[in-house]
Amino acid sequence: MTRAVRRKSMTAEAEATEGRPFSTASLDRGLRVSHTVRDDFPILDQEVHGKPLVYLDSAASAQKPRCVIEALREYYENDHANVHRGVHSLSQRATFAYERARGKVKMFLNARDTREIVFVRGTTEAINLVAQSYGRKNIGEGDEILITEMEHHSNIVPWQILCQQTGARLVPSPIDDRGELVMSEFEKRLGARTKLVSVVHISNALGTVNPVEEIVALAHARGVPVLLDGAQAAPHMPVDVQALGCDFYAFSGHKTYGPTGIGALYGRAELLEQMPPYQGGGEMILSVTFETSTYNELPYKFEAGTPNIADAIGLGAALDYLAALDRGAVADYEHNLLEYAEHALREVPGLRIIGTARRKAGLHSFTMEGAHPHDIGTILDHEGIAIRTGHHCAQPVMTRFGVAATARASFGIYNVREDVDRLVAALHHVRRVLG
């Protein structure tokens, strides 16, 4: 199989975060490279229904490189203990590793300070945290929260709950037939009542890359803070929260080649300082009496209870792994693969790509005449190909495009052109079976 992105050796943390030159030309040199990205993912080396696995479901959850699996094993075999409260060596080692992982997230997002990085379960929990903490404090009756029509349910439902609690209103901004945000309409909806803008960076249902810098600039010009849902962007492009200027940024570890059950919320320190805790319990306090409690400093104020130590460390390993690649060049590689896939998919008769934004990343959603997406998914599974079918937790997007569901092929750093070729051949097979 053609080799994909060449992986650099990872000898030290400093070296890992540096990022080194890479060009898609290395694809041609790939066969001479002994160590490749694809080889780093042991799960990919298997057969499904007697066919070599083609994994095209990274937008739902990405696979894990060996170094992440190893980091988890090493932690549990050597260092596990509860963090922050222990004087014994294991607790100190666990604390050091957990806090070092926070430092890696800080570097990954280019945040100013580790105080701005809150470990959470994932994007969903990060958005709920902002809704219930920032939202309950700052958003009231008659206020508006501006989102878009292309949001994942995770960036809709937490705001609906907040609206029910406060009497605020959720305002969706429309998208056009390509699946791009209509900026003039967005600007119109950004009014005196808007108290927060919460927008997806890359849509999981359409692949649209939103003009988030412009969105932040428009919102900030009116003094409105912005949350960016980075669940799909973090795995596909370098993210710099200082350059973006956003106030909150949320992402999930499991989509970023890390473990499940861990993710991070970036929040500007000035905002996090003013926000009340999200949950109460151990870790998030400095002192407790029956009358009152004083809260811990950032970011611990938002991390009640024993944290997910192991998976935070695993996430740190995943971010080291990504940092050892040149992220810009990986984004180029993935972009080329996406274009290749688009051309190939367009040749399948009756196939309609849903989401044709000029800037796309990571995936293609599609429907096929005469074939229900679930049937497409089932037939593809029998060919060893894993795609996702359904509404992708974005039902308003399905409504906008007049479909109940789509099939979605999504790509990761380990995918190669042969994967696309296998997909397209299998889709022709679907047409023969169902046509």
Ligand X SMILES: Cc1ncc(COP(=O)(O)O)c(C=O)c1O
DSSP states along 184-241: HHHHHH--TTEEEEEEESB-TTT-BBP-HHHHHHHHHHTT--EEEE-TTTTTTS---H
Q: Can you read off the two tokens belonging to residue 303?
A: 């991390």
152 binds ligand X (CB under 6 A): yes
322 binds ligand X (CB under 6 A): no
Distance in Å, CB of 148 to ligand X, minimum: 11
Amino acid (1-letter code) at residue 371: A
Nearer to ligand X (CB atom), residue 324 or residue 363: 363
Distance in Å, CB of 254 to ligand X, minimum: 6
Contacting ligand X (CB under 6 A), which of 154, 365, 367, 410? 154
Q: Which residue is nearest to ligand X (CB)?
A: 204
Contact 297, 115 (CB under 8 A): yes
Nearer to ligand X (CB atom), residue 148 or residue 204: 204
Q: Collect all residues with Cβ–Cβ distance below 8 Å to 109 and sequence separation of at least 6.
A: 117, 239, 240, 241, 249, 264, 266
**What x-and-dash track marks residues 119-148 binding ligand X by CB under 6 A?**
---xxx------------------------
163 belongs to the catalytic site: no
SS3 content of the chain, % helix, strand, coil (to 5): 45, 20, 40
Distance in Å, CB of 128 to ligand X, minimum: 9
Q: Collect all residues with Cβ–Cβ distance below 8 Å to 31 and sequence separation of at least 6.
A: 2, 3
Q: Is 288 helix (H, G, I), strand (E, B) or coil?
A: strand
Q: From 262, 285, 305, 300, select the one nearest 115 (Cα to Cα).
A: 300
Distance in Å, CB of 286 to ligand X, minimum: 30
Contacting ligand X (CB under 6 A), which of 252, 256, 365, 367? 252
Nearer to ligand X (CB atom), residue 204 or residue 296: 204
Distance in Å, CB of 151 to ligand X, minimum: 7
229 binds ligand X (CB under 6 A): yes
Nearer to ligand X (CB atom), residue 38 or residue 152: 152
308 binds ligand X (CB under 6 A): no
How many residues in the shown chain lie near ligand X by CB under 6 A? 13
Beta-sheet strands, E only, within 32-85 = 47-48, 51-52, 54-55
Q: Candidates 116-124, 133-141, 410-418, 420-428 — which segment interacts with ligand X by CB under 6 A? A: 116-124
What is the C-alpha to C-alpha distance for residues 138 and 89, in angstroms, rounded to an integer? 43
Nearer to ligand X (CB atom), residue 122 or residue 373: 122
Number of Cβ within 10 Å of residue 16's Cβ equals 21
What is the C-alpha to C-alpha distance for residues 322 and 108, in angstroms, rounded to an integer? 9
Q: Is 98 helix (H, G, I), strand (E, B) or coil?
A: helix
232 binds ligand X (CB under 6 A): yes
Distance in Å, CB of 310 to ligand X, minimum: 17
Distance in Å, CB of 386 to ligand X, minimum: 15
Nearer to ligand X (CB atom), residue 224 or residue 227: 227
Nearer to ligand X (CB atom), residue 376 or residue 397: 397
Distance in Å, CB of 14 to ligand X, minimum: 30
Nearer to ligand X (CB atom), residue 231 or residue 324: 231
Q: Which of residues 367-406 bind ligand X (CB under 6 A)?
A: 393
Contact 145, 170 (CB under 8 A): yes
Q: Is 28 helix (H, G, I), strand (E, B) or coil?
A: helix
Contacting ligand X (CB under 6 A), which of 63, 173, 204, 210? 204
Cα dihedral sign for 274, 275, 280, 283?
negative
Active-site residue (options: 67, 163, 246, 393): 393
Number of Cβ within 10 Å of residue 42's Cβ equals 12
What residue ranges bind ligand X (CB under 6 A)? 122-124, 152, 154-155, 200, 204, 229, 231-232, 252, 393
- Residues catalogued as catalytic: 393
